[in-house]
Structure 1
């Protein structure tokens, strides 16, 4: 993380400046990321008062160094989520070691590879339940009807949320994360969704305190840190993290895989014919839903000759790092056979994604189960609709026409 000071782009530069709230970035951030890696690896957005790191080595170094690149002010640049109050809304995601490790350990046992592998039969069952009403359909919305629904179903069940409420949880989660073009604040509909979801989760915690079940929320209610039980506010913060981070990222990456399989028919065919795991994994590298996380610099830090002052906000861009030619040969080529060991879509260091194994399972199962029923598909590009979030890249709607298999794949 050293070298000559880069040029900061000016208003007449032949690029779109990096702004995670700009709809143009949501449509296609990768040319901008490439420009940043080549010309401004320490990019400055003066208007929003943050810096951005885009190269693989710099992203990885920042994520593994919480002492200098801290989570304590949160992982989002939105004003309502950034600041010393961040642990109230983001729970252990907005903590540094050792507090982070203590609180993360309360639930980490649920997400071990062994425990997650044992969940596969149930995840498949939930996938098939979502596919059943689509089985005879020749046209449906892959994103809304399936890709976003499956991870939401899995997480809601894990958290003890009654199945009658699953679709409303998903709808409020999607609405809560939407932003108007260029705005870093939630609009009235997003605020209403956040309040509605918060009220629901407070009531859920109250119900499970009175009648605990065999679910992750009840586990958190019974847990102690330093001899004290967690407060309702802490548990609700944990539920927001689980629903927001796990549900959003996984569902949108499944949708991104479907989209890229349509753009590249050979990829889509091989994915549907049994290479679901490779299809999901290369999508995670090539076009992960998770684009950016924020950090706060705790001390003056020099990166590529640029001084980041103590207290500076930094946008760390794993999605750009995964397209860095310094880490991946021919990074803009979508390749199912690629060595993806250097991929950092799940983060790196102490904040490596707690649910990585579960997310991988859900993506593989979702694509495998649709592949058992469908041999090909076409996306109605005129009706595709993207989500608009500073962190998540994906689709709210992916209408498609499918070709059922003459004989369902075993």
Structure 2
């Protein structure tokens, strides 16, 4: 196959079902591929994706991180977000937000997350079929995020609905309106909540964000709202889909599942392999600030480049026999959470939730099957996971 014969769109339903054969073709034949459907260059090799992530001066985030049709400006659709900013403002924002998102705060959640996991599993049947997403992988991170922010738990179902609507709003299919409505609802909700925390401080992340200060500077109201939206969607959806993808992978690899059940100390390394093997975030976009010549292609200043994390994590040059799932691999170079200045701020939380949830599943639900034919996939370009996953 020649590069001219290759077609790739991150919004193609058949690609979403199983993108990895297409990724291999891209890496082998068109590592710098122009996708007319998404109006973006597509970088698929681990070396190129890693280099782009390490060079925010050339690969800017300020114009948006998702490929959109011509004429659609992401920065006009959403309030300022940490993930859509460049230095020096990104550096300032990251410092402010990091003060409210410390390793100590995350580590202190372990007991709370364990209780939530135990409570959720206690309500699921030990035999028969149930929906893994609606009853376990969806509620867990939603409750954790709501509790971190200090938001009442009774609002978590609304959060889940808003978040899922945002994630599944596909601009290529003309579905962006519902996503914008969901974002507006979230902004309205958080605006009132922020006002309450200013008047009545509490021991929660929302209060910490309001009070965070670096060199006498606080987050603006728009930046606070943007971060709340980012935290809800990224912190919630990433973990939900990591857990759902993991349930499928371990059902397909029963020997590895038994090994993890017998030796739970292997779970942390297995989480890294699960992240590599089927990344919840398949890729994010950047905008070129200068011309880049790569693999015989001239990518012009102003062009968008989609960095395929999911493909980079299946690159045999970085991970020998990359299409093979191996819980003993220890894939230190996997880029499921990105790399560089935009490395996912919530990575430690997602890892903690995954470790606790998987250990509990392996202990209390040692064997399971998934009805993959009845599962409903998310239809979002960058996010890989399930809207529904029957499990028994």
Asked whether the two chains share a fold, i.e. TM above 0.5, the reply is yes
Structure 1's unaligned 5+ residue stretches are: 1-5, 402-410
Q: What is the Cα deviation at residue 377 of structure 1?
A: 0.9
Aligned pairs for 1:165-314 (under 5 A) are: 165-179=155-169, 183=172, 185-186=174-175, 189-224=178-213, 227-273=216-262, 274=264, 275-314=266-305
CA distance in 1, matches of 2:369, 2:353: 23
| 2:12 is the alignment partner of 1:22 | yes
Q: What is the Cα deviation at residue 22 of structure 1?
A: 1.4
CA distance in 2, matches of 1:190, 1:133: 31
Structure 2's unaligned 5+ residue stretches are: none
1:145–1:9 distance in 2 versus 1, CA, 3 Å: farther
Would you say the 8 A contact 1:142–1:399 is kept in 2?
A: yes
| 2:164 is the alignment partner of 1:149 | no
Deviates more, 1:102-111 or 1:322-331: 102-111
1:271–1:148 distance in 2 versus 1, CA, 3 Å: farther
1:202–1:81 distance in 2 versus 1, CA, 3 Å: farther
Secondary structure (helix, strand or coil) at the match of 1:219 reads helix
Would you say the 8 A contact 2:96–2:218 is kept in 1?
A: no
Q: What is the Cα deviation at residue 83 of structure 1?
A: 4.5
Quote the residue 2:376 is aligned against.
385
Quote the residue 2:348 is aligned against.
357
CA distance in 2, matches of 1:311, 1:243: 30
CA distance in 2, matches of 1:198, 1:301: 37
1:65–1:343 distance in 2 versus 1, CA, 3 Å: same
CA distance in 1, matches of 2:236, 2:80: 15
Quote the residue 1:106 is aligned against.
96
CA distance in 1, matches of 2:25, 2:349: 34
TM-score (norm 2): 0.93
Deviates more, 1:295-304 or 1:377-386: 377-386
- How many aligned residue pairs are there? 389
Q: What is the Cα deviation at residue 191 of structure 1?
A: 4.1
Quote the residue 2:65 is aligned against.
75
Q: What is the Cα deviation at residue 369 of structure 1?
A: 1.4
Q: What is the Cα deviation at residue 176 of structure 1?
A: 2.0
Would you say the 8 A contact 2:32–2:44 is kept in 1?
A: yes
Quote the residue 1:347 is aligned against.
338
Would you say the 8 A contact 2:271–2:355 is kept in 1?
A: yes
Would you say the 8 A contact 1:294–1:314 is kept in 2?
A: yes
Secondary structure (helix, strand or coil) at the match of 1:134 reads coil
Quote the residue 1:405 is aligned against.
none
CA distance in 1, matches of 2:181, 2:50: 36
Would you say the 8 A contact 2:167–2:380 is kept in 1?
A: yes
CA distance in 2, matches of 1:109, 1:227: 14
Would you say the 8 A contact 1:103–1:225 is kept in 2?
A: no
1:210–1:186 distance in 2 versus 1, CA, 3 Å: farther
| Consecutive aligned runs of 4 or more in structure 1 exceeding 6 Å deviation | none
CA distance in 2, matches of 1:138, 1:84: 46
Q: What is the Cα deviation at residue 136 of structure 1?
A: 4.9
Would you say the 8 A contact 1:112–1:357 is kept in 2?
A: no
Q: CA RMSD in A?
A: 2.2
Q: Deviations over 1:79-125 (max 9, x none)?
A: 69745547x53511111122111111112244444442332111111
Q: What is the Cα deviation at residue 163 of structure 1?
A: 1.0
Quote the residue 2:44 is aligned against.
54
Q: Deviations over 1:170-228 (max 9, x none)?
A: 12211221145x82543554444333333222222222222221111212222346644
| 2:149 is the alignment partner of 1:159 | yes
